[in-house]
């Protein structure tokens, strides 16, 4: 508990690691995650450090692993992401892994290359067959026309001119060439245009689309292709045509000169395609086998390499001591964990079989240690709420343990509804029960993760909402009449006429039998029917908010004493804490007293004479109010006394601390040395000095390392101190007023929530319930659906978020600024468990 309240006590320790066993020791520490390493060579750049080659090797392995993973994923083989946690491999085993990986890479590369080559081949052959099949149609078309032309040769038609020309050229024996091939469909138009422009019409282009989609070898996407056939005259033009074909990435295939040749080629192609298919299948099978074999151990390798890389990073932070043949590391470690640390080092030395053990040495330091607050799955959510504001300074009072109760409570004050609370609690309870479910835990959905991480907070918020819902007697804006109302209508003795003629009737508690005493728990359900329900609840909730706020803030001020006592600043107790508390209690504590007094002193009988607290409170400051009837005898005197105390505490708060410190430093040097921190520091300095002398005797060279954190003596600046205290005073005194007002948000949000749920009931649910006929039952189904959806989305999610936000603000600003500094540094231990655990996170994929 004390660790949760203050955080762990930390110490700076030196680890002397024998160079032979350093790797194993650090691996051991990484598994435990106990210590935070400090960089002992900050001046050395990353690539000049000692183990940079090993890190490069790890990166090389990571690259190969990334390649493997991508291939495995491409082949659609599921990766076994098991719960194995292999330890970091020994340096001597690394070479074996490396070799294995490299062999795999070479093998895979070869097979994939082969496969790609085969696929490309296959594609070419298919393209060729398509081309032959389609160009045959072009030729057939010309062949069909040929007899026609012969038939009508005696009567040449004008439109046959080109055809005539073509055939006569052929007959003339002019060199007619053909180029045929495939081109992507998108490019055919531009291709045709350029052909026309460059060759000025000395070509004939015919083309037809291939019906099937062919795979693009570069991108792997299926694309539509077009088979074309260009007939041209002359070599020069042929050169140009070829160049243009190259330019448009056409796949050009030889064009058979005769029909027989064509048939031969087609036949040959068919057998080759079949052969290729079998070869390709075998290659794919083999590839799959290799990948399946690799995928079994790839997870282990990834983790091992990651751990190894992390260890070398840590080794780079250590300094190397040549004379002692050992590595020196400086770590922050919780004092309580030092035995575990020793054991881990022993274990590491034992594993590596080192003759000289590695050992730990605590060294004194004046540096501020990092803050570590150990949490479990329940407290971590609340600790995160506090840490989001600021990580606590070292050994400062941690608000988190109090937040566990106050946070859900303040939330519930704003969210008070039994029904909504039950839904929220059930949802959170489900998450808590299924928290070990991998599917829920490892999802990538950020919004879901937020809810899941805060499941215990939500559970507490739900439970407290049930409680406040019972107090408010609100369940989906309806009241529950569990114990029977304390009010009786019968006793009023209204006649039938009165019932019929009046929309509203007043129950008078002064009539005997009408009010039989308060409802046992919370608000009487009869208020749900009352027309002045809102007025009643507003007054109640407003006063409750102020009372809760003052208690919350006073608690914060009281918590500050723990800090003053722990940091040995006793003067703060009298010069800061006392005036602060007096100021708060004399003004606002008195307000709380008046509220409670009024509740207790006035009953239904004399409620007409109950005075307004507001007027009394204002008059207290104005020191007037003689005309008013006092609440109790001696009120004026007490009030004047309280105001005077409050006003007097302001100058004490403003001047007390700076003047006292000034006196301490200038007036009495002797006294100052005995006080607080200075004494502590002096002690540690002496120890440091002793230790350095000790080192010098041994002749070791690392003494300069531990002296890095030497403090310059503190300079006292009166003006500075005064300015800080003035700011603090102004902030605190104004803050008391504004923060008290700020707590009224409890009332406002609670009112808004109640009203929203009532509106939802009246506008949606009641419409469905009003239908009298049997159809109404059917009608009720969609109406209830709408009601449920709106309840969850608006009242639970939206309102819940807004109440959460306001509760957060009340804690961060109104509560924590009374005592919490939050200027610490979080303790980041070196732990393998903090390395990203899934494949996607580490950028390998």
Partner 1 sequence: MLFAPLLMESELTFNVDHGYLEGLVRGMKAGILTSTDYHNLAQCDTLEDMKLHLQSTDYGKLLSSSEEDLTVSLVDSKLRANLVTEFSCLRSNALPPLSTFLDYITYSYMIDNVVMLITGALKQRDVAELLPRCHPLGAFDQMAAVGIARTPTELYSAILVDTPLAPFFQDAVSESNLDEMEAEILRNKLYKAYIESFHSFCKNIGGVTADIMCPVLEFEADRRTFIITVNSFGTELSGADKSALYPSCGKLYPEGLRLLAKAEDHEQVKAVANCYPEYKLIFDDPEPGADFKTLEDRFFEQEVKLNMLAFLQQFHFGVFYSYVKLKEQESRNIVWIAECVTQRQKSKIHNYIPIFPGTH
Please choose, out of 240-248, 336-344, 496-504, 641-649, the segment that lies near partner 1 by the rule CB under 8 A: 240-248
Residue from 197, 441, 679, 841 binding partner 1 (CB under 8 A): 197
Nearer to partner 1, 187 or 569 (CB): 187
CA dist 264 → 142, 181, 192, 210, 227 (Å): 21, 18, 31, 22, 20
Q: Which two tokens stand for residue 837?
A: 């655990």
Nearer to partner 1, 246 or 840 (CB): 246
Q: What x/- string results for residues 462 through 491 when contact with partner 1 is judged by CB under 8 A? A: ------------------------------
DSSP 195: H
CB of 197 vs partner 1, minimal distance in Å:
4
Contact by Cβ (8 Å): 70, 845 = yes
CA dist 111 → 43, 117, 281, 286 (Å): 47, 10, 12, 8
Could you tell me which of 284, 282, 285, 275 has the C-alpha nearest to residue 125? Answer: 275
Nearer to partner 1, 209 or 246 (CB): 246
Q: Is 822 helix (H, G, I), strand (E, B) or coil?
A: coil
Nearer to partner 1, 249 or 694 (CB): 249
Q: CA 6, 12, 17 angle in degrees (round to 5)? A: 140
CB of 265 vs partner 1, minimal distance in Å:
27
CB of 194 vs partner 1, minimal distance in Å:
7
As a whole number of angstroms, the distance between CA 578 and CA 570 comes to: 11
The secondary structure of 597-630 as a DSSP string is: HHHHH--STTGGGPPPHHHHHHHHHHT--TTSPP
Residue from 2, 42, 43, 47 binding partner 1 (CB under 8 A): 47
Per-position b or e across 756-768, b if 16+ CB within 10 A of its CB: bbbebbeebbeeb
Contact by Cβ (8 Å): 829, 10 = no
Nearer to partner 1, 46 or 84 (CB): 46
CB of 429 vs partner 1, minimal distance in Å:
42
Residue from 51, 240, 309, 811 binding partner 1 (CB under 8 A): 240
Could you tell me which of 828, 806, 810, 614 has the C-alpha nearest to residue 10? Answer: 828
CB of 62 vs partner 1, minimal distance in Å:
9
Which residues in 167-196 contact partner 1 (CB under 8 A)?
187, 190, 193-194
Nearer to partner 1, 197 or 694 (CB): 197
Q: CB under 8 Å, gap of 24 or more: what pairs does 673-682 form?
A: 675/568, 676/567, 676/568, 676/569, 677/567, 677/568, 680/568, 681/366, 681/711
Residue 843 sits in the site that holds partner 1 (CB under 8 A): yes
Nearer to partner 1, 248 or 716 (CB): 248
What length is written for the chain? Answer: 845
Residue 56 sits in the site that holds partner 1 (CB under 8 A): yes
Q: Which two tokens stand for residue 104?
A: 């795999």
As a whole number of angstroms, the distance between CA 420 and CA 479 comes to: 13
As a whole number of angstroms, the distance between CA 676 and CA 681 comes to: 9
CB of 825 vs partner 1, minimal distance in Å:
22
Nearer to partner 1, 244 or 642 (CB): 244
As a whole number of angstroms, the distance between CA 652 and CA 580 comes to: 9
Q: What x/- string results for residues 246 through 265 when contact with partner 1 is judged by CB under 8 A? A: xxx-----------------
CB of 53 vs partner 1, minimal distance in Å:
10
Please choose, out of 237-245, 584-592, 753-761, 827-835, the segment that lies near partner 1 by the rule CB under 8 A: 237-245
CB of 57 vs partner 1, minimal distance in Å:
12
Please choose, out of 41-49, 221-229, 295-303, 646-654, the segment that lies near partner 1 by the rule CB under 8 A: 41-49
Nearer to partner 1, 106 or 335 (CB): 106
CB of 286 vs partner 1, minimal distance in Å:
22
Nearer to partner 1, 58 or 587 (CB): 58
CB of 88 vs partner 1, minimal distance in Å:
22
Which residues in 695-724 contact partner 1 (CB under 8 A)?
none
Contact by Cβ (8 Å): 672, 664 = yes
Nearer to partner 1, 45 or 162 (CB): 45
Q: What is the 3-state secondary structure (H, E, C) of 201-235?
A: CCEEEEEEEEEEEEECCCCCCEEEEEEEEEEEECH
CB of 243 vs partner 1, minimal distance in Å:
5
Please choose, out of 40-48, 74-82, 545-553, 628-636, the segment that lies near partner 1 by the rule CB under 8 A: 40-48
CB of 58 vs partner 1, minimal distance in Å:
12
As a whole number of angstroms, the distance between CA 582 and CA 499 comes to: 56
CB atoms within 10 A of CB 791: 23
Nearer to partner 1, 145 or 197 (CB): 197
Contact by Cβ (8 Å): 422, 466 = yes
Which residues in 63-122 contact partner 1 (CB under 8 A)?
63, 66
Nearer to partner 1, 244 or 423 (CB): 244
Contact by Cβ (8 Å): 471, 416 = yes
Nearer to partner 1, 6 or 251 (CB): 251
Residue 198 sits in the site that holds partner 1 (CB under 8 A): yes
Contact by Cβ (8 Å): 464, 409 = yes
CB of 834 vs partner 1, minimal distance in Å:
20
Nearer to partner 1, 116 or 261 (CB): 116
Please choose, out of 42-50, 74-82, 87-95, 266-274, the segment that lies near partner 1 by the rule CB under 8 A: 42-50
Residue from 134, 244, 294, 575 binding partner 1 (CB under 8 A): 244
CB atoms within 10 A of CB 183: 21
DSSP 487: B
As a whole number of angstroms, the distance between CA 288 and CA 81 comes to: 19
CA 324 and chain centroid, separation: 45
Nearer to partner 1, 435 or 840 (CB): 840
CB of 245 vs partner 1, minimal distance in Å:
10
How many residues bind partner 1 (CB under 8 A)? The answer is 21
Nearer to partner 1, 109 or 651 (CB): 109
DSSP 587: I
Contact by Cβ (8 Å): 184, 223 = yes
CB of 116 vs partner 1, minimal distance in Å:
16
Please choose, out of 46-54, 136-144, 511-519, 762-770, the segment that lies near partner 1 by the rule CB under 8 A: 46-54
Nearer to partner 1, 59 or 714 (CB): 59
Cβ neighbours of residue 123 closer than 8 Å, sequence gap 6 or more: 214, 215, 217
Contact by Cβ (8 Å): 684, 367 = no
CB of 55 vs partner 1, minimal distance in Å:
8
Contact by Cβ (8 Å): 43, 307 = no
Please choose, out of 45-53, 91-99, 344-352, 462-470, the segment that lies near partner 1 by the rule CB under 8 A: 45-53
CB of 113 vs partner 1, minimal distance in Å:
13
Residues that bind partner 1 (CB under 8 A): 45-47, 52, 56, 59, 63, 66, 187, 190, 193-194, 197-198, 240, 243-244, 246-248, 843
């Amino acid at each position: 508990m004390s660790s949760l309240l203050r955080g762990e006590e930390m110490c700076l320790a030196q680890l002397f690691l024998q160079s032979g066993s350093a790797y194993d020791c650090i691996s051991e520490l990484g598994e435990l995650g106990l210590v935070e390493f400090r960089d002992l060579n900050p001046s050395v750049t990353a690539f000049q450090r000692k183990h940079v080659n090993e890190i490069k090797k790890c990166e090389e392995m990571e690259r190969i692993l990334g390649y493997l993973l991508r291939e495995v994923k491409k082949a659609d083989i599921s990766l076994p992401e098991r719960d194995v946690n292999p330890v970091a491999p020994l340096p001597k085993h690394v070479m074996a892994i490396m070799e294995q990986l490299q062999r795999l890479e070479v093998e895979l590369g070869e097979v994939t290359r082969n496969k790609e080559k085969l696929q490309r081949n296959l594609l070419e052959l298919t393209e060729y067959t398509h081309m032959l099949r389609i160009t045959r149609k072009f030729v057939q078309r010309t062949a069909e026309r040929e007899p026609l032309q012969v038939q009508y040769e005696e009567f040449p038609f004008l439109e046959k001119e080109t055809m005539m020309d073509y055939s006569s050229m052929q007959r003339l024996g002019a060199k007619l060439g053909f180029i045929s091939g495939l081109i992507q469909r998108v490019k055919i138009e531009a291709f045709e245009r350029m052909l026309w422009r460059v060759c000025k019409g000395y070509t004939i282009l015919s083309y037809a689309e291939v019906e099937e989609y062919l795979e693009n070898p570069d991108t792997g996407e299926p694309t539509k292709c077009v088979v074309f056939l260009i007939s041209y005259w002359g070599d020069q033009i042929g050169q140009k045509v070829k160049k243009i074909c190259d330019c448009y990435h056409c796949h050009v295939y030889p064009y058979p000169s005769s029909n027989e040749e064509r048939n031969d080629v087609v036949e040959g192609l068919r057998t080759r395609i079949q052969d290729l298919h079998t070869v390709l299948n075998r290659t794919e099978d083999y590839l799959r086998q290799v990948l399946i074999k690799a995928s079994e151990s790839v997870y282990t390798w990834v983790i091992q390499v990651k751990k190894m890389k992390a260890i070398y990073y840590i080794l780079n932070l250590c300094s190397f001591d040549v004379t002692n043949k050992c590595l020196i590391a400086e770590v922050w470690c919780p004092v309580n964990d030092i035995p575990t640390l020793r054991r881990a080092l022993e274990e590491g030395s034992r594993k590596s079989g080192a003759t000289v053990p590695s050992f730990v040495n605590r060294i004194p330091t004046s540096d501020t240690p990092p803050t570590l607050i150990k949490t479990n799955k329940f407290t971590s959510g609340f600790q995160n709420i506090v840490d989001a504001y600021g990580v606590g300074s070292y050994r400062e009072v941690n608000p988190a343990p109090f937040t566990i109760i106050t946070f859900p409570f303040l939330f519930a004050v704003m969210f008070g509804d039994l029904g909504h609370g039950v839904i929220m609690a059930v949802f959170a309870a489900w998450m808590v029960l299924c928290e070990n479910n991998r599917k829920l835990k490892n999802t990538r959905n950020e919004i879901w993760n937020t809810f899941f991480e805060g499941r215990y907070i939500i559970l507490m918020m739900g439970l407290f909402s049930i409680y406040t819902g019972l107090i408010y007697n609100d369940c989906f804006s309806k009241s529950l009449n569990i114990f029977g109302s304390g009010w009786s209508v019968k006793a009023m003795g209204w006649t039938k006429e009165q019932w019929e003629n009046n929309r509203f009737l007043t129950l008078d508690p002064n009539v005997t039998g009408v009010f039989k005493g308060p409802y046992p728990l919370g608000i009487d359900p009869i208020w749900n029917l009352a027309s002045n329900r809102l007025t009643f609840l507003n007054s109640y909730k407003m006063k409750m908010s102020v009372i809760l706020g003052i208690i919350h803030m006073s608690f914060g001020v009281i918590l500050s004493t723990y800090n003053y006592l722990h940091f040995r600043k006793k003067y703060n107790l009298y010069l800061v804490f006392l005036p602060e508390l007096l100021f708060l209690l004399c003004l606002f504590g008195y307000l709380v007293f008046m509220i409670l007094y009024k509740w207790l002193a006035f009953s239904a009988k004399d409620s007409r004479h109950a005075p307004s607290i507001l007027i009394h409170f204002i008059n207290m400051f104005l020191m007037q109010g003689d005309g008013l009837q006092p609440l109790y005898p001696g009120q004026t005197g007490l009030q004047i006394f309280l105001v005077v105390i409050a006003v007097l505490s302001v100058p004490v708060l403003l001047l007390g601390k700076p003047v006292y410190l000034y006196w301490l430093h200038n007036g009495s040097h002797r006294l100052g040395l005995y006080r607080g921190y200075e004494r502590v520091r002096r002690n540690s300095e002496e120890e440091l000095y002793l230790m350095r002398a000790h080192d010098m005797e041994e002749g070791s060279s690392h003494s300069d390392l531990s002296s890095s954190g030497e403090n310059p003596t503190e300079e006292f600046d009166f003006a500075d101190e005064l300015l800080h205290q003035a700011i603090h005073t102004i902030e605190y005194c104004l803050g008391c007023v504004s923060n008290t007002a700020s707590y009224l948000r409890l009332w406002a949000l609670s009112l808004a929530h109640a009203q929203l749920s009532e509106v939802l009931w009246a506008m949606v649910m009641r419409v469905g319930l009003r239908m009298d006929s049997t159809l109404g039952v059917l009608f009720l189904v969609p109406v209830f659906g709408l009601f449920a959806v709106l309840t969850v989305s608006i009242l639970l999610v939206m309102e819940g978020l807004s109440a959460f936000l306001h509760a957060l603000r009340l804690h961060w600003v109104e509560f924590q600024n009374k005592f919490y500094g939050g200027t610490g540094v979080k303790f980041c231990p070196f732990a393998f468990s903090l390395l990203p655990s899934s494949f996607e996170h580490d950028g390998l994929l």
